[in-house]
Every structure is written in C-alpha cells, then in structure tokens.
Amino acid sequence: MDARDYQTAIIWMRVSIRVKPTFSPSHYGLGVALYNVGRIDEAIDEFREVIRLDPGSMSAHFYLGKALAKQHKSKEARHEFEVATEDDNNSDCKQQVRDETDKLKWRIPCAGAATWSARSTRCPAHSPISAVSISP
C-alpha cells in the first residue's frame, strides 16, 4: 500500500466509526493506517480504543507496542509486547513480537519468570526469547 491508499483507508475507517463507534475492527484499521502514514499519536489513541473495546486483541497490543517504541517509550512498549505474547493460541503474533523485539534488541520474559531485569537479555529461568520455542 502506498500513502494514498492509507489516506483512503483513514477516511473510510472514520466513516465506519461514525456509523458504529464500538466496532473495534474499524478502530484497529484506522490505527494501522495512521501508524503507516506516521501519525503515531493518533494511532496510539486508536489502538488504546481497540484494547478498551476488546482487551483480548493481541494485534492491537502488538501495534500499540510498535507505536510506543517509535516514540522511545520503551517501558510501555515492552509491556504491550509482553501482553501480545500472552495468548497461547496466537503463534503468528508471538513471531511478530520476536521479530520486532529482535530489531529493538529487547527480550521479552517468558511466562514462567517471576521477575526480569529490563537490562538483562535473559529471563532468570529461561533462555533468551529468540532461542525459546513458543508454540501453541
């Protein structure tokens, strides 16, 4: 998609939201389009709205993490990436989180770790996330 396609998507997602404000897929689509044209603050607002409407949306947590990372809000971004990996049935999202955190040189703690240092590349009980096989 190029910028014009995203601009068109923004227009249509806003129309959809006016018709049905509680339809979380429209907020998600708007957030993705805003993210891809660099309107990060607005994208963050939309991803937060998706999460308010549908707290189980791992994709919204993932994109919110990416948007927060773009704003150098590492702690908040890391939290969103952690939430995005909590669903055992979403291996695609987990792979995307691993790819994203590898780019950022972060490691996300695995679920069995009680504590984890943000400066550490290992969770205390397990290998680095890039070496951990996370599958449903």
For residue 84, the model assigns a pLDDT of 82
Torsion, Cα 33 38 44 46, to 10 degrees, reads: -30
Domain of 81 in residue numbering reads as: 3-131
Q: Is the pTM of this model over 0.85?
A: no
CA distance 112 to 10: 40
Sign (positive/negative) of CA torsion 129, 118, 70, 36?
A: positive
What pLDDT does 81 receive? 85
Q: Is residue 40 part of a domain?
A: yes
| Rounded-to-integer distance, Cα 49 and Cα 25, Å | 10
Task: Look at residue 122 and tell me if it is in a domain.
Answer: yes
Tell me if 29 sits within 8 A of 13, measured CB to CB: yes
Among 51, 113, 111, 54, CA closest to 76: 51
* Residue 136 lies inside a defined structural domain of this protein: no
How far, in Å, CA of 129 to CA of 35, rounded? 26
Residue 85: give its domain's CATH number.
1.25.40.10
In a domain, 105, yes or no: yes
What's the rounded mean pLDDT across residues 112-132?
33
Task: For residue range 56-65, list pLDDT tens digits in order.
Answer: 888 899 899 9
Most confident region among 8-17, 103-112, 124-133 by mean pLDDT: 8-17
Residue 122 in contact with residue 130, Cβ under 8 Å? no
pLDDT at position 96 over 50: yes
Is 37 among the domain residues? yes
Structural domain total, the chain = 1
Q: Let me know if residue 20 belongs to a domain.
A: yes
In this predicted structure, the answer to whether residue 104 has a pLDDT above a threshold of 90 is: no
Checking if the pLDDT of 76 tops 60, the result is yes
Query: Alpha-carbon distance 9 to 31, whole Å?
Result: 10
Q: Give per-residue pLDDT as tens, 3-42.
A: 789 999 999 999 999 999 999 999 999 999 999 999 999 9
